[in-house]
Amino acid sequence: MLNKIYRHGNRNLTKADLIQFKSELLSEIKTIITPNQTTQSVWLKSSEVCKLLSISQGTLQNLRISGTIQYSKIGDTLFYKTEDINKLMEGGNEN
């Protein structure tokens, strides 16, 4: 059944071409989503940020209110970009 031909524009694609494409695509996706043990998480929770900066939850809330630190809220959980926290620790605030 690999002999069936599909048309894509002016090019003929066989089922074998599509199977090969699927295999290559899945391989690429796996390399993208497979966590790398050496990389740091992109997003941090509030408790992690407090530990990292040695601050209280109240101080973190003040940083959010003042716009010093950006965050995203999913459900009831606040998340912070590691990149933003690192900039804050280095003394830079690019708002």
Q: Which residue has the tokens 């090969």?
A: 20
User: Is residue 82 within 8 Å of residue 71, measured between CB atoms?
Assistant: no
Residue 43: burial class (beta carbons within 10 Å; 0-12, 13-18, 19+):
middle
Pairing mode of beta strands 5-8, 11-14: antiparallel
For residue range 7-23, list pLDDT tens digits in order: 767 788 888 888 999 99
What is this structure's pTM?
Answer: 0.54
Q: Cβ contacts of residue 12 below 8 Å, gap of 6+?
A: 5, 6
pLDDT tens, 48-92?
A: 999 989 999 999 999 999 999 999 999 999 999 998 898 888 875
Question: By CB neighbour count within 10 A (0-12 exposed, 13-18 middle, 19+ buried), where does 80 fall?
Answer: buried
